[in-house]
Amino acid sequence: MSGAFQAPRGIPDYFPPNSADFRKVRDTLTDAARRAGYGHIELPIFEETALFARGVGESTDVVSKEMYTFTDRGDRSVTLRPEGTAGVVRAVIQHGLDRGQLPVKVCYAGPFFRYEKPQTGRYRQLQQVGVEAIGVDDPALDAEVVAVADEGYKRLGLSGYRLEITSLGDDASRPRYREALQEFLFGLDLDEATRKRAEINPLRVLDDKRPEIREATANAPLLIDYLSDEAKAHFDLVLANLDRLGVAYEINPRLVRGLDYYTKTTFEFVHDGLGAQSGIGGGGRYDGLMRQLGAKQDLSGIGFGIGVDRTMLALEAEGVAGTQAARCQVFGVPLGADAKAELVGVAGSLRAAGISVDLAYGDRGLKGAMKAADRSGARLALVLGENELAGRRIEIKDLGNGEQQQVSLDDVVAEVTRLLG
C-alpha cells in the first residue's frame, strides 16, 4: 500500500503566495543587518555533534532532548544544527577570522533543527536570521545588535512586541549568585530531577514552566542584584545606548534563555499575539564560548537569532501579513500554436530585458487565459491571435484600466518597457 507522502511532522512548507511573506521577513531582517555592516556567512547544516554539546551546553533541553543526531557512513556522530552561534564561532576559530579586523560581524539565514513537540509557532525545522559580532566587548555593540533586530521588526511593520533585557553578569558576578541561588533552592522541597538541575545549573530551575516550581521560586534571589561593578557598568551603558537609539525595553531580571553560553547582556523579543510560543527573537553576549570551543584566545561575542516562522505569525496576528507581490509584470496569452511559438520568443526577449513574464500554457482558450493573467498580478497582458500574427502585430492590454493597443511585434519590448516605466 502506498499513501501520499507528508512532510515530516512539525515541519512547515512555504509556497506561493505566502512564501512572499517568508522572503520579505527574511530579506528585511538581513537588510537591517547589512546596513549595520554585517557580512553574509553561509555555514554547514550539520556539524560534529560535540560542537553543539560543548557550545550550547549539555544541561540545556536543546542538547539533551532536541538534537537530530546521527552517525554518518564514516561512523562519525554529526548533528543537524539546532542554532547558529556555535557554528559561527567554530568558523571564526577555524579560519582565523579573529586575527583580522575586529569585531568580526556576520549575518546568516537558514533552517535549524530541534526535535521539539510541534505546535503552532514551534517547529522541528525552524528558520532564523541571525547575526554575530565577535571580538570586541563594547556595550555600544550590544546596543547595536539589539537595535538591528528592533529595526528589522519595525520595517516589517510589526508593533505589538516588546524587548525584555537583563544582564547575566560576568565571571566575577556568577559564583556569588550561584551560591546564593543554590542555597535558596536547596531550602525548597524539590523532586530529584530538579534538585539535580539545581546542582548542575541552578539558573535553569528558574526557567521551569511548572506552576508549583514557579511559585516556589518566586522569591529566589536575582542575578541582577549580584552583578560585579564592571558588569553593572557594562549593562548601564547598554541601556543608555538603547535610549540613544530610541529602542524601548523592559528590564526582566527573571529572563532565562534556553542556551548556556550567555553572559552579561541577554535579551528576548516577545510578541503577545502568539500564545505560548511568544519569543520572536533573542540573543545576548557570550564571553567564554571561544575558549570553550578550543580557541587559544578568548574573545567575547554578541548576537541574536530571530525566528522567521514566528515573525510571520506575528505579522499575521497584527494583520500586516499578505504581501501582495505580483508573480510577474507581464502575462502572455497566445491563441493558437503559431502564436504560442511566437510568444515564447517574445517572453524570452522581455526577460532578457529584465521584465518578469509568464505565459498561459496548456491551450486553455481566451477566457481561461485572461483569468490566469488577472490572477498572476501582472500589469500588462500580451494577447496574440492568428490575425494579429499574420500582420506581425500584438495586442497589449493594461490589466489595471482595461486600455488596449496594438503594436508591431518588433516594438513590443520597447513599448512594454515604456509602459512599465
Amino acid at residue number 401: N
- Contacts with ligand HAM by CB under 6 A: the residue count is 26
Residue 368, phi then psi, degrees to nearest 5: -60, -40
The residue within the footprint of ligand HAM, chosen from 307, 328, 342, 409 (CB under 6 A), is: 307
Give me 61's grid cell.
Answer: 533541553
Residue with smallest beta-carbon separation from ligand HAM? 307
Considering only 40-48, 120-128, 195-203, 336-344, which stretch makes contact with ligand HAM by CB under 6 A?
120-128
Per the CB < 8 A criterion, the answer to whether 224 and 251 are in contact is yes
Question: What 8-state DSSP symbol labels residue 119?
Answer: B
Q: Is 226 in the site for ligand HAM (CB under 6 A)?
A: no
Determine if 152 is a binding residue for ligand HAM (CB under 6 A).
no
For residue 113, state whether it binds ligand HAM (rule: CB under 6 A): no
Query: Which one of residues 22, 52, 123, 226 is an interface residue with ligand HAM (CB under 6 A)?
Result: 123
132 by Cβ neighbours in 10 Å (0-12 / 13-18 / 19+) ranks as buried
- Nearest-Å Rg of the Cα atoms of the chain is 27
Binding segment toward ligand HAM, per CB under 6 A, in 1-9, 116-124, 201-209, 409-417: 116-124
Q: How far is the CB of 17 from ligand HAM (least distance, A)?
A: 22
- Exactly one of 55, 57, 84, 202 binds ligand HAM (CB under 6 A); that residue is 84
Whole-angstrom distance, CA of residue 51 vs CA of residue 185: 31
Displacement of CA 132 from its chain's centroid (Å): 13
Stretch of 15-23, 30-38, 114-122, 372-380 lying at the interface with ligand HAM (CB under 6 A) = 114-122
For residue 23, give the C-alpha cell: 522572503
The stretches of 263-307 forming alpha helices (DSSP H) are 289-292
Binding of ligand HAM at residue 135 (CB under 6 A)? Answer: no
C-alpha distances (whole Å) from 391 to each of 217, 235, 335, 381 are 84, 75, 15, 19
Kindly report the number of other CB atoms within 10 A of residue 250's CB atom: 11
| Interface stretch with ligand HAM, choices 69-77, 188-196, 280-288, 291-299 (CB under 6 A) | 280-288
Pick between residue 313 and residue 416 the one whose CB is nearest to ligand HAM: 313
Asked if residue 168 binds ligand HAM (CB under 6 A), the reply is no
Q: Give 216-230 as a DSSP string.
A: HTTT---GGGG--HH
Asked if 116 interacts with ligand HAM (CB under 6 A), we say yes
Which one among 281, 370, 378, 389 touches ligand HAM, defined by CB under 6 A?
281
C-alpha–C-alpha distance, residues 288 and 295, integer Å: 10
**Interface residues toward ligand HAM, by CB under 6 A:** 83-85, 114, 116, 121-123, 126, 128, 130, 132, 258-259, 279-284, 303-305, 307, 309-310
